Amino acid sequence: MASPMTRSSLTPLSSRATAKALAARHGFATSGIALVPGDGQAPRAAAYAAWLAQGFHGPLAYMQKTQLVRARIHTRFPWARSVLAVGAFYDAALTGQPTGALLAYVARYARGRDYHLIFEKRLKGLARALVQEGVCAQAHWHVDTGPILERAWAEAAGLGWIGKNACLIHPGLGSFLLLAVILMDSTPAADAPTPNRCGTCRRCMDACPTQALVAPAVLDARRCLATWNIERRGELPRELWPAQREWVFGCDTCQAVCPHNAACRNPPGLRQQQSGRIVAHPPDAELTAPRPWHTLTLAECITLQPAEYNRLFAASPLRRAGLKGLRLSAITVAGNKQLEDCREVVSRCLRDVDSDIRQRAEWAAEQRQRRRGGCRADAASLGLG
């Protein structure tokens, strides 16, 4: 068995090649290297400061509290000289029956096991391997829960560009990517940035149900559905309830309409070549493995009880919304979609012990009455009433 290479035997180019090969071996579909500047300033730090100054972080107070650490990587890690950015591609295909399955109303990234748990295991192994192979002597990894601008570093590392939907868009994989970074105390050769290929397209901005994309790559979190039905556990302001449409957890609208994600709508696992470019990619098997809650209907979600919630959603991203948050969002979707299967359970929620659940159910019931009234009016105008 060959002994590990020593750090002194690696050139910047071979160090980068080794790091990327190790990233692939540990389950990441794409990776790249960015060098940390002498002052430790993160890429897009100025844009981040401007975003905070305009209040676009809204109820996400932690984004402002951690501004200094995010903007200056040397604040916490003075030894960091480079960043290995990695990404995993999750299943972007439409799944679940929109007539009733909860699965049809959940953002695609959240369908599988909590990716933080999956990434932690992979990143620990990858960081250890980087040291063992001599790429670096010190490494520290972060998923998106750490105070670091992971999308900006991923863009600087050449994984893709930050599109008008504020997501990182990989030229071959699209934006259905989950990102993480490993800080290193070495300086492998950096990867070249990827040119922005959004052009004049603005489909994501036009399609956003709450018009939360206020400028190219600028998201107003105060209006983003994911802020409210994930981070704020269903506490969406009443004026935005109709705009929640079909999203119980998260929202994929700005990604679903992106032309760079067209290949992702092919059947999972399909690989094709067109002019040498991959137009589809198999999803990460660990990120897309079936979960117990996949058989749950929207109606069953509305009346979910604590014991069943804990059993079905163990190690699931949906736990971030909490039981009450899922129920509130499911009732809102029932009001918007007017699914017949949900009518009876929404009526039962009118007597729920929780006043927030009752209020949301009252609103959902009002939508049905309003829609039925509108249908009668239309029929009368046509001489059918």
CA atoms within 13 A on the CB side of 300: 12
> Quick check: is 230 in a domain?
no
Evaluate if residue 230 carries a pLDDT over 60. yes
Same domain, 14 and 154: yes
Whether 144 is a known active-site residue: answer: yes
Name which of 3-12, 59-68, 87-96, 236-245 the model is least confident about. Answer: 3-12
Question: Residue 140 falls within a domain, yes or no?
Answer: yes
Contacts of 294 (CB under 8 A, 6+ apart): 96, 101, 103, 111
Q: Are residues 48 and 168 in the same domain?
A: yes
Quote the pLDDT of residue 45: 98
The one catalytic residue among 114, 144, 206, 378: 144
What pLDDT is recorded for position 4? 45
Q: What confidence category does residue 100 fall into, taking pLDDT thresholds of 50, 70 and 90?
A: confident
Confidence of residue 223 (pLDDT cuts 50, 70, 90): very high
pLDDT at 373: 63
Whether residue 296 sits in one domain with residue 169 = no
Residue 199 lies in a domain: no
180 and 300 in a single domain? The answer is no
- The residue with greater pLDDT, 7 or 169, is 169
Predicted pLDDT at 217: 98
Lowest mean pLDDT among 50-54, 61-65, 281-285: 281-285
| DSSP track, 81-121 | -EEEEEEEEPP-S--S-TTTBGGGGB-GGGSSS-HHHHHHH
Please check whether residue 320 lies inside any domain of the structure.
yes
| CATH (domain of 320) | 1.25.10
At residue 131, does pLDDT exceed 60?
A: yes
- For 290-334, write each residue's pLDDT tens digit: 999 999 999 999 999 999 999 999 999 999 999 999 999 999 999
Report, as an integer, the average pLDDT of 245-274: 74
Confidence of residue 385 (pLDDT cuts 50, 70, 90): very low
Co-location of 318 and 177 in the same domain: no
Domain boundary among 184, 207, 240: 184
- Which is higher by pLDDT, 338 or 20? 20
Averaged pLDDT, 128-152: 96
Q: State the pLDDT at residue 336.
A: 95
pTM score over 0.85 = yes
Segment 274-278 shows an average pLDDT of: 41
More confident call, 335 vs 4: 335
What is the arithmetic mean of pLDDT over 74-87? 97
* Residue 246: pLDDT band with limits 50, 70, 90: very high
Q: Is 184 helix (H, G, I), strand (E, B) or coil?
A: strand
The predicted structure's pLDDT at residue 277:
43
Residue at 43 is within a domain: yes
Output the six-digit token pair for 60. 């996400």
Looking at residue 262, its pLDDT comes to: 77
Dihedral of the CA atoms 69, 71, 73, 76 (nearest 10)? Answer: -10
Q: In this structure, are residues 247 and 229 in contact, taking their beta carbons and an 8 Å threshold?
A: yes
Kindly state whether residues 172 and 308 are assigned to the same domain. Answer: no
User: What is the predicted pLDDT for the residue at 378?
Assistant: 41
- Report the domain count for the chain: 2
Which residues are 263's β-sheet partners?
Answer: none
The confidence score (pLDDT) of residue 91 equals: 81
Q: What is the pLDDT of residue 370?
A: 81
For residues 43 and 175, membership in a common domain is answered with yes
Tokens of 54: 């305009």
**Structural domain harbouring 112:** 7-90+108-184
Question: Is 264 a residue whose pLDDT tops 70?
Answer: no
In a domain, 225, yes or no: no
CA atoms within 13 A on the CB side of 146: 19
Indicate if 160 and 35 belong to the same structural domain.
Answer: yes
Q: What mean pLDDT, rounded, does the chain reach?
A: 90
pLDDT at 349 over 70: yes
As a whole number of angstroms, the distance between CA 113 and CA 117 comes to 8
Q: What is the pLDDT of residue 280?
A: 57
Q: Are residues 21 and 166 in the same domain?
A: yes
Average pLDDT over residues 142-171: 96
Residue at which a domain ends, from 153, 169, 184: 184
**What are the pLDDT digits (tens) for 20-55?**
999 999 999 999 999 999 999 999 999 999 999 999
Residue 97 lies in a domain: no
End-of-domain residue from the set 184, 210, 228: 184
Q: Residue 219 falls within a domain, yes or no?
A: no
Average pLDDT over residues 120-138: 98
Dig out the tokens for 156 from the structure: 């600087």
